[in-house]
Structure 1
Amino acid sequence: MPYPHVIRLRGPWQFEPLARATLDADGQITDNSADLPPAGRATVPEDWGERLGNGFRGRARYRRAFNPPATLDPHERLWLVVEGVDAFGHVSVNGTRLGTIDGYALRRGFEVTQLVGPRNEIELEIELPAELPGVKQALRPGRERLPGGPIGEVRLEVRTQWFLEPLAIWSTPASDGFLIRGQVQGEPLAAALAVVVSGCEREIAYLETQVGAWFEILGPATDFPVWTTHSPTLAPLEVKLLIGGMAVWQAVIDTALRGSVANAGTSLAEQILPDAAYQEFDRNGRTVIQRLPLEWAEPVCSRLAHHPSVVGWSALAGQLPPPADCYGRPWLESG
């Protein structure tokens, strides 16, 4: 079985509004648990606009029962991954709080191997605060007028004890190869691990590394397609983590070398979108500049780095963009 093995938890979920955030006459925000919309069933990912109203500000709980895989081999671990909630929230499994989700584009993963039994329940408690004039608002780039809720995918992943996270793959228009940067995560291991990158039916890069180590590889890829808006051709790039020649983690990513692209016709992506949207931009030859808060730059830019359609970054209004490029793209002045 290739790792990770993914089990998506789309539905059915049960949702329950917990409190509505209201602005009192004295300018204070209070939680009001009276006269709330009814509880019901939901599918995740979604926003809560249809169920709680587009203007709902407050807290809601989403719960879902799930069964774990029938058996896990000794080298396998079970993880829960939440792609993001809007605006922020907490994640629990079987009553044990795992941690926080700090934004709609900030993925978190939690190992739950020892927490699950025959019958299990995931709980997401999500909050979208009321807006208070003069007070800094929760970061929601591009979603400031949209409903909140569990807008990111929730899934289980069966992994081995070792995997790569984060992983970023990118190129620059002047290069004929890919840069691959990541970190090996997992349990202590005396043996060396190897990162192997391949594409176009050949090995592009090989590096031996250790658990906990960061790595950066430059892989020559002159036979890979060069992506332009007129020729948006992609090819699969495979990254494997090996122990003794056995793959313990792998990913296949459609990408291309970045060609020179004119700025004409480039649009500004105000919202950070699901990965499928950028895959569509790649296939259609559409270029975008991604707007994002500087606080989210590393996790978001690394996740989008392999998409040739993303040609630059733009900080939020009032934020001074960094002088250095980020994953081969420039920071542009906020408009």
Structure 2
Amino acid sequence: MYPHRIRLRGPWECEPMAPAGVEAPPPRRVVMPSRWADAGLTGFVGDACFVRPFGYPGRADPGTEHIWLTCDGSTGRFRVILNQTLLSEETAPAFAFDVTPLMTQRNRLEIHVHGDSDAAGLWGEVALEIRRAAFLADVTVARDGSAFVLTGRAVGVAPHPLELYTLVDRRHVDYREIMPTPAGQPFRIELVDLPADARAIRMELINLSTVWYVVEVPIS
């Protein structure tokens, strides 16, 4: 069942870099997730370079599996570099990159963060995800009167339409087929008559007998 998730928690090397004429805090080791305050950088305005070496993830097969680098939440402008290749240079609350072609037996991840408040940093989980050729993205649930509406995209490629199951607290409530596309095939699913005490929605993207992707969304 996919995705296989490998958390890159720590230790990370952290090197603060202050503007010219300002003394920077000394380098340190931190454990992710971490905001500025968690890393002992309270009140610091400037850049910090977070470095994490890691090995090739187990027996991931580049012929059938894809390795993604993900971060669930960040604050501040950042630059992401893997094995000296720039992946992104922007401001975004989260990121995900297919890094399969860049992976070696020994890897070096650098994330440069510019922060101007104690909320800056990588406060979401940084991880590797082993995925198949298609997956679910941007899955959200919203209340629409007495119903709940699920939206999202099926991203990637597949040899034929995949099965998409929706479960609420382990009970099947919807089934359909969907053909992923590289840009993401959108879907919209309306769920009615859910139990008042329903807690979580689970979606499974299945190719034949293999679960290609699972995502769970809490009901609030």
Identify the TM-score tier after normalising by the shorter chain. 0.7 to 0.9
Question: Could you say if the C-alpha distance between residues 127 and 194 of structure 1 is closer, same or farther in structure 2, counting changes exceeding 3 Å?
Answer: same
Query: 1 or 2, which has the higher strand percentage?
Result: 2
Gaps of 5+ in 2: none
Contact 1:88 1:127 (8 Å CA) reproduced? yes
1:123 has 2:93 as partner: no
Question: Secondary structure of 1:237's match?
Answer: strand
Decide which structure has the larger Cα Rg and report it: 1
1:244 has 2:183 as partner: no
Deviates more, 1:196-205 or 1:70-79: 196-205
- State the Cα deviation string for residues 262-283 of structure 1 (Å, max 9, x = none): xxxxxxxxxxxxxxxxxxxxxx
User: Matches of residues 57-206 of structure 1 in structure 2 within 5 Å?
Assistant: 57-73=45-61, 74-103=63-92, 106-129=93-116, 146-172=118-144, 174-175=145-146, 177-187=147-157, 189-206=158-175
Question: Secondary structure of 1:114's match?
Answer: helix
Contact 1:85 1:149 (8 Å CA) reproduced? yes
Percent identity of equivalent pairs: 28
User: Which AA in structure 2 matches 1:12?
Assistant: P
Question: Secondary structure of 2:140's match?
Answer: strand
Question: Could you say if the C-alpha distance between residues 218 and 50 of structure 1 is closer, same or farther in structure 2, counting changes exceeding 3 Å?
Answer: closer
Which aligned segments of 4 or more residues in structure 1 are displaced greater than 6 angstroms?
none
1:170 shift after superposition? 2.5
User: Which AA in structure 1 matches 2:212?
Assistant: V
Contact 1:101 1:107 (8 Å CA) reproduced? no
1:7 has 2:6 as partner: yes
Gaps of 5+ in 1: 21-30, 130-144, 227-232, 256-307, 309-335
Q: How many residue pairs are counted as aligned between the two chains?
A: 216
Question: Could you say if the C-alpha distance between residues 77 and 37 of structure 1 is closer, same or farther in structure 2, counting changes exceeding 3 Å?
Answer: same
Question: Could you say if the C-alpha distance between residues 107 and 51 of structure 1 is closer, same or farther in structure 2, counting changes exceeding 3 Å?
Answer: closer
Q: Quote the Cα distance in structure 1 between the aligned partners of 2:103 and 2:119.
A: 32
Contact 1:92 1:123 (8 Å CA) reproduced? yes
Question: Secondary structure of 1:86's match?
Answer: coil
User: Which AA in structure 2 matches 1:95?
Assistant: Q
Question: Could you say if the C-alpha distance between residues 200 and 50 of structure 1 is closer, same or farther in structure 2, counting changes exceeding 3 Å?
Answer: closer
Q: Quote the Cα distance in structure 1 between the aligned partners of 2:39 and 2:161.
A: 51
1:179 shift after superposition? 1.6
TM-score by length of 1: 0.59
Q: Quote the Cα distance in structure 2 between the aligned partners of 1:234 and 1:170.
A: 14
Contact 1:85 1:101 (8 Å CA) reproduced? no
1:52 shift after superposition? 5.4
Question: Could you say if the C-alpha distance between residues 200 and 15 of structure 1 is closer, same or farther in structure 2, counting changes exceeding 3 Å?
Answer: closer
1:98 shift after superposition? 0.7
By relative contact order (CA 8 Å, sep 6+), the higher-ranking structure is 2
User: Matches of residues 6-25 of structure 1 in structure 2 within 5 Å?
Assistant: 6-18=5-17, 20=18
1:209 has 2:161 as partner: no
Q: Quote the Cα distance in structure 2 between the aligned partners of 1:205 and 1:50.
A: 42
Query: 1 or 2, which has the higher helix percentage?
Result: 1
